[in-house]
Structure 1
Amino acid sequence: MGDEKKPKPAGVWSTVKPFVNGGASGMLATCVIQPIDMVKVRIQLGQGSAAQVTKNMLKEEGLGAFYKVMLFLLF
């Protein structure tokens, strides 16, 4: 009675879904962590506090400065 098994859904999505979720999670994490890491590196280089570094990066280099290394690796 309790040994009845439900049939697994047929199709590719049930097989691919974990890989899609993992890939999407990795991309989102990279997009969120990259700007934080860029500010951290500049703080370590002695360019000021987190607020000062962020303000200077936005003012002098624009939003793309936070993703500069990532863009270099892609192209």
Structure 2
Amino acid sequence: MERARPATPHLYLAAIGTLPGARGRGLASALLERRLSAAGQDGFLISNTRGTVPFYARFGFEPQGELPIGRGPVVYPMIRRK
């Protein structure tokens, strides 16, 4: 995963999520909007499912391809340029 990370200073979003019972209320969106508005720099995250890529794209994150993890899953690095 380190080779997918930008070389320039950036905000790394390690984990954002909601419990199934809390989904659909805009909580993750509010959390993400607040953090990004305070960041003032590029953002980087690794989406662990293809299904969440469109969610992050709504906030300006651009997919950087697929990243297979050995014989494990494929993850999706995403960058948001400030």
Q: Which has more helix, going by share of residues?
A: 1
Shared topology, TM-score over 0.5?
no
TM-score for the superposition, normalised by structure 2:
0.24
Which of the two has higher C-alpha Rg?
1
TM-score, structure 1 normalization: 0.25
User: Which structure carries more relative contact order (alpha carbon 8 Å, separation 6+)?
Assistant: 2
Name the structure with the higher strand share. 2
